[in-house]
Structure 1
Amino acid sequence: MSIPGFDSWLGSAQGRYVMDWEQRKLDEAVADIFGFNALQIGMPQYDFLRANRIPLRQKAGEFGAVDVLSEMTALPFASHSTDLIVLPHVLEFSTDPHQILREVERILIPEGQVVIVGFNPLSLWGLKQKLDRSGDFPWNGNYLSITRLADWLQLLGFEVDRGTLGCYAPPFIQQKWLRRWHFIESAGERWWSFSGGVYLLRAIKRVHGMRLITPDWRKKAVRAKALRPVTHKEGHGH
């Protein structure tokens, strides 16, 4: 199953503008993550794992040129088997984003990482999404705010490691207008960082209660002392 208008939007000026930013930021986000298995879920038209050096890098999804064809809510991977997962615009176009995140948590190893990219509802792009009734991608999604997503991740035991926003220009259709508004990118990062049209969030799966168990020599010494026979001194009161 494909998303209506998905491929045509990717080839549009808007699509190129957003994807250029996302490819650049995802390259930076995944470059320093190591392990044995990495997985990109969705958007197989792009290689968002290209800057990562994990040996086995796969794409999974419900359509397109993927390595593993599967439902995103029931991933055919073993629990605790994956070191890195990239989710590009998956959650806001799913009917069950909670279940996708539960599956991500299940298959990630302890200390494994997930990188999520989504449209920011608190932006001009989010405003356009609220007003647009065409049913076309990307306006037909249910945009999730960073705070809401961070809350979901925290409930699943993740710790948000980093976040960044970009694409501050209004969602113009024509390339020339997007180019003319290029000046706002640096200004937006400095003054209106919360209002970028797209965000990237990286989180680490923490397993609470896991700690190194070391010998408690102090307690052992106390026990040994307590087991020593008691000797009574003679010559007192006799």
Structure 2
Amino acid sequence: MSPSESFPGLHAWLDTPLGRYVMAWEESCVDALVADIFGYNAVQLGLPEADFLRANRMPLRFRAGAGEVQLETDLEALPFAANSLDLVVLPHVLEFAGHPHQVLREVERVLVADGHVIIAGFNPLSLFGLRRTLARECGAYPWHGQYLSPGRLKDWLALLSFEIGTQRSGCFVPAMEQQKWIDRLGLLDRAGSRWWPIGGGVYVIHAIKRVHGMRLIMPRWDRKARARALAPIIQRTGGIPDTSPRKTTDENDFGRD
């Protein structure tokens, strides 16, 4: 399956000035995050045109999904064993998946305890979200997707016992296709990250899978039973029992005589 068949218009959009602008920011952001994540197995699901694992140093790194990938798979039914992956990267998968909840559940299943997931998505509460509202009827990529706000996505992750590590937002320039306007409005990226950090056109969220340990609590009656079993048979006086020899009745009587 070619990239154009997996996501209609994706390959063409990535070659536009706006697509290159978005990919440049996301690759820089994800590179900084994955560089310090260690383990054995890492997988990128979707968007095979970009390599989001290039800065990672795990021995096994591959891309899965549809298109030019190492493994063709359905993202809603991953062919990996439970607790087998250390890192999963999801670049713009959830907003175009038919069942994004199921994709996240599968990611949680295949990640090891303390495994990492990095999600990149389009922000509906931004100028990109406004462009999506205006261009939704055309059905072109990427404006036809069901964008998830960072707050909503973090709620989903929390329900799956993920702990949010890092959230970053970028691409504050309006969604214009002309390179000259992207260059002229580049100062918005510097101002937006400081004054409107949640309003970037795209965001990257890093989360960690947490598995709570189990602690066995013995019943109170069982602790009492063990205490009674260890107690001496003689009457407990709160101290060391008196084991000195006692005088007999005859000795006591002789003393009085």
In the superposition, the TM-score normalised over structure 2's length comes to: 0.84
In the alignment, which residue of structure 2 is the partner of 1:88?
Answer: 91
Matched residue SS, 1:112: strand
In the alignment, which residue of structure 1 is the partner of 2:11?
Answer: 7
Whether 1:158 and 2:162 are equivalent positions in the alignment is yes
1:230 is displaced (CA, Å) by 3.9
Where in structure 1 are there 5+ consecutive unaligned residues? 214-218
Q: Distance in 1 between matches of 2:10 and 2:214?
A: 43
Whether 1:141 and 2:156 are equivalent positions in the alignment is no
CA distance 1:178–1:33, shift in 2 (3 Å): same
In the alignment, which residue of structure 2 is the partner of 1:44?
Answer: 48
Deviations 1:68-116 (A, max 9, x none): 1011101111110000000000000111000000100010001101000
Q: Distance in 1 between matches of 2:208 and 2:8?
A: 33
Task: State the aligned residue count.
Answer: 228
In the alignment, which residue of structure 1 is the partner of 2:254?
Answer: none
Identical aligned pairs, as a percentage?
54
1:186 is displaced (CA, Å) by 1.1
The alignment yields a C-alpha RMSD, in angstroms, of 2.1
1:72 to 70, 75, 83: 75
Q: Distance in 2 between matches of 1:197 and 1:38?
A: 27
Q: Distance in 2 between matches of 1:143 and 1:29?
A: 23
In the alignment, which residue of structure 1 is the partner of 2:64?
Answer: 60
In the alignment, which residue of structure 1 is the partner of 2:219?
Answer: none
Instruction: Give the AA of the match of 1:194.
Output: I
Whether 1:174 and 2:178 are equivalent positions in the alignment is yes
In the superposition, the TM-score normalised over structure 1's length comes to: 0.90
Deviations 1:156-208 (A, max 9, x none): 11111110000000011100000000111111010011100000000000112
Q: Distance in 2 between matches of 1:2 and 1:115?
A: 21
Instruction: Give the AA of the match of 1:188.
Output: G
In the alignment, which residue of structure 1 is the partner of 2:108?
Answer: 105
Bigger Rg, which one = 2
Q: Distance in 2 between matches of 1:143 and 1:225?
A: 64
Whether 1:30 and 2:26 are equivalent positions in the alignment is no
Q: Distance in 2 between matches of 1:180 and 1:157?
A: 43
Q: Distance in 2 between matches of 1:224 and 1:34?
A: 48
Q: Distance in 2 between matches of 1:49 and 1:30?
A: 7
